[in-house]
C-alpha cells in the first residue's frame, strides 16, 4: 500500500511494487517508485502528465530528500 507524506502542502507518495502512479497521485503530487535500477522520483502535472528525473537515486532516503526539496520549490 502506498505511503503518503505531506511536505509544504505537497503530497509525496512512496509506492510499493506494482502500484501505478496515477492510481494514487493527482495534480502536483510527487511519487517515489523503486525498480531494479533504484528509486525514481516522478512529478504529476496538472493534466495528469508524469515526468521524472533522468536517473534513479541509490536509496529511498535520497529519493525522499529530493522529493522534499522539490516540494519546497513547488510550494513557493
65 band by pLDDT with thresholds 50, 70 and 90: very high
Domains in the chain: boundaries? 3-75
So what's the pLDDT on residue 32? 98
Contact 2, 26 (CB under 8 A): no
Average pLDDT for the chain:
97
Which pLDDT score is estimated for 7? Answer: 97
Whole-angstrom CA distances from 61 to 10, 45, 46, 58, 68 are 18, 24, 27, 9, 11
Neighbours of 28 (CB within 10 A): 15
Output the pLDDT for position 26.
96
Each residue's pLDDT tens digit, 39-57: 999 999 999 999 999 999 9
The CA angle 26-72-13, to the nearest 5 degrees, is: 35
Report the predicted TM-score, pTM, of the whole model to 2 decimal places: 0.94
Amino acid at each position: 500500500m502506498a505511503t503518503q507524506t505531506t511536505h509544504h502542502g505537497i503530497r509525496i507518495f512512496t509506492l510499493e511494487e506494482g502500484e501505478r502512479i496515477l492510481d494514487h497521485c493527482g495534480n502536483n503530487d510527487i511519487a517515489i517508485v523503486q525498480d531494479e535500477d533504484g528509486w525514481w522520483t516522478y512529478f504529476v502535472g496538472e493534466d495528469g502528465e508524469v515526468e521524472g528525473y533522468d536517473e534513479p537515486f541509490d536509496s529511498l532516503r535520497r529519493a525522499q530528500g529530493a522529493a522534499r526539496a522539490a516540494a519546497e520549490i513547488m510550494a513557493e
